[in-house]
């Protein structure tokens, strides 16, 4: 079982281009047939454009469900076979960075369209998990096994699948904005708007919108839902798997109450996050204040994806982070801790039906973190959120197990 695998260095993480909770993409990407050459970009309006990057037939989609997914997830899960081929489009769209006075930027994402005679489809917006390569994201689906699974299970059965790459990922020229809440909300909202503009150009439309996300994408999904409810964009239902809905709670657990099963790639989360906060919140020196002198430069290069000695990045948090941050009060009162404390996505009155799936042996997300959105909503008397266990599943196993349950629930909405 892959749930027992432990990566012993950041070198191993990057050498295998490991997705958080996913094994080497090299093991799975080779199994996905090469897509045809991309078409010329088609401009729609207001800076939105799209290009056809591939078409996956039913046989290819079913290979993902029966062979590729068990390879990277480490478990065998029963999926509904694909019924139709899927066309894949890379979408470029204008957006803004809320943390920087709405500075204009260009972002990218994926739109997967069932290749059928139908003209109206339900749509799932999928929010991807943490990745270490800029192109291990939805708009480069051949490099993203999690996106492949969503395409095969949903788009292969008549759903539109859309997914933002997040700022700094995909074809974006920005630095990564890892767990930067406002930017995640903006990227995902604007991607839905852009997807609908592309669909209109294709003479297609969506009938209802669902949201789903795994790991980091679970947090982004909840943050996106908060934004969509605030602006009045209807969402039929939302699901997550292994979602860190409260970064402050999750980070305190890693720092002060580590578990024996905690993954040793947790150090990379702090690296990506602190440099993202420094860049997006314009707080020079934030990363240097958190990281030890010995690991600062190597961490900076890792964040920027510059060449570096990968073996020099520690997998022990106490070798990466300055000792004072292991004092809970110091962490809470620090500039970094205060930003982390604002990074949550469950503390509003949720109107949309939500199911948060969590694993009992997830090496990244505690059971209580997986249950937290439900616990909070029930504490205020709201019953819209249900936490659903997936059994003794690892981080990636939780995702693989949850996906068909997501679809079965959405099918009934």
Interval 334-349: pLDDT, tens: 999 999 999 999 999 9
Rounded distance, CA 1 to CA 74, Å?
A: 5
The answer to whether position 28 is within a domain reads yes
Output the pLDDT for position 26: 31
238 and 335 assigned to the same domain = no
By residue range, what is the domain housing residue 232?
2-245+353-411
Q: How confident is the model at residue 309 (pLDDT cuts 50, 70, 90)?
A: confident
Produce one character per residue of 377-396: b if its CB has 16 or more CB atoms within 10 Å, e if not. Answer: beeeeeebbbbbebeebbbb
**pLDDT per residue as tens digits for the range 311-368:** 888 999 999 999 999 999 999 999 999 999 999 999 999 999 999 999 999 999 999 9
28 and 164 assigned to the same domain = yes
Write the Ramachandran bin of 161: left for phi over 0, alpha for psi from -120 to 50, otherwise beta.
beta
The answer to whether position 277 is within a domain reads yes
- E strand map for 230-366: 237-241, 354-358
Percent of the chain topping pLDDT 70: 91
257 and 309 assigned to the same domain = yes
The answer to whether position 227 is within a domain reads yes
CATH number for the domain harbouring residue 283: 1.10.260
294 and 360 assigned to the same domain = no
79 and 143 assigned to the same domain = yes
256 and 139 assigned to the same domain = no
- Beta strands 160-164 and 120-127, pairing class: parallel
116 and 239 assigned to the same domain = yes
Q: How confident is the model at residue 37 (pLDDT cuts 50, 70, 90)?
A: low
Among candidate residues 304, 321, 341, the one where a domain is terminated: 341
CATH number for the domain harbouring residue 140: 3.40.50.1820
- Report the chain's mean pLDDT, rounded to a whole number: 92
Q: How confident is the model at residue 22 (pLDDT cuts 50, 70, 90)?
A: very low
- Tally of domains in the chain: 2
**pLDDT per residue as tens digits for the range 183-212:** 999 999 999 999 999 999 999 999 999 999
* Cα-based distances in Å from 61 to 127, 168, 236: 20, 29, 26
**191: nearest Cα among 92, 87, 86:** 92
pLDDT score of 147 more than 70: yes
Overall average pLDDT of the 156-181 stretch: 97
174 and 290 assigned to the same domain = no
Q: What is the pTM of this model?
A: 0.92
Overall average pLDDT of the 282-289 stretch: 98
Output the pLDDT for position 3: 34
CB atoms within 10 A of CB 150: 31
402 and 275 assigned to the same domain = no
The answer to whether position 254 is within a domain reads yes
| Candidate from 52-56, 130-134, 240-244, 400-404 with smallest mean pLDDT | 130-134
Output the pLDDT for position 311: 82
Among candidate residues 315, 341, 367, the one where a domain is terminated: 341
CB atoms within 10 A of CB 84: 16
Rounded distance, CA 103 to CA 101, Å?
A: 6
For residue 136, give every residue at least 6 positions away whose Cβ sits within 8 Å of its Cβ, in sequence order, or none: 17, 19, 25, 143, 144
Output the pLDDT for position 29: 36
């Amino acid at each position: 079982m892959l749930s027992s695998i432990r990566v012993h260095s950041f070198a191993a993480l990057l050498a295998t281009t490991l997705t958080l909770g996913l094994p080497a993409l090299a093991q799975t990407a080779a199994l996905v047939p090469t897509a045809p050459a991309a078409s010329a970009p088609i401009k729609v309006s207001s800076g939105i454009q799209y290009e056809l990057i591939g078409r996956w037939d039913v046989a290819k989609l079913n290979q993902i469900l029966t062979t590729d997914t068990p390879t990277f997830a480490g478990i065998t899960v029963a999926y509904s076979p694909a019924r139709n081929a899927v066309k894949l489009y890379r979408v470029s769209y204008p957006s803004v960075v809320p943390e920087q006075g709405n500075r204009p930027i260009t972002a990218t994402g994926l739109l997967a369209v069932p290749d059928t005679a139908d003209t109206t489809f339900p749509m799932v917006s999928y929010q991807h998990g943490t990745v270490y390569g800029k192109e291990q994201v939805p708009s480069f689906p051949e490099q993203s096994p999690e996106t492949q699974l969503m395409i095969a299970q949903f788009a292969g059965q008549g759903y539109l699948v859309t997914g933002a790459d997040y700022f700094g990922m995909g074809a974006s020229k920005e630095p990564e904005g890892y767990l930067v809440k406002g930017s995640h909300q903006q990227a995902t909202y604007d991607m839905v708007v852009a997807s609908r503009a592309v669909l209109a150009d294709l003479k297609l439309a969506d009938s209802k919108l669902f949201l789903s996300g795994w790991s980091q994408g679970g947090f982004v999904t909840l943050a996106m839902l908060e934004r969509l409810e605030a602006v009045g964009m209807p969402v039929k239902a939302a699901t997550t798997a292994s979602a860190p809905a409260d970064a402050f709670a999750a980070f305190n657990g890693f720092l002060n109450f580590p578990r024996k099963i905690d993954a040793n790639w947790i150090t990379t989360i702090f690296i990506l996050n602190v440099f993202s906060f420094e860049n997006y919140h314009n707080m020079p020196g934030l990363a240097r204040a958190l990281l030890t002198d010995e690991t600062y430069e190597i961490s900076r290069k890792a964040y920027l994806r510059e060449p570096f000695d990968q073996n020099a990045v520690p997998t022990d948090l106490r070798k990466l982070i300055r000792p004072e941050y292991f004092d809970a009060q110091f962490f809470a009162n620090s500039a970094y801790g205060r930003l982390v404390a604002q990074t949550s996505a469950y503390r509003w009155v949720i109107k949309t039906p939500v199911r948060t799936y969590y694993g009992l042996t997830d090496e990244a997300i505690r059971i209580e973190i997986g249950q937290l959105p439900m616990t909070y909503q029930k504490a205020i008397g709201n019953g819209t959120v249900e936490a659903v266990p997936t059994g003794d599943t690892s981080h990636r196993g939780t995702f693989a197990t949850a996906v068909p349950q997501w679809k079965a629930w959405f099918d009934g909405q």
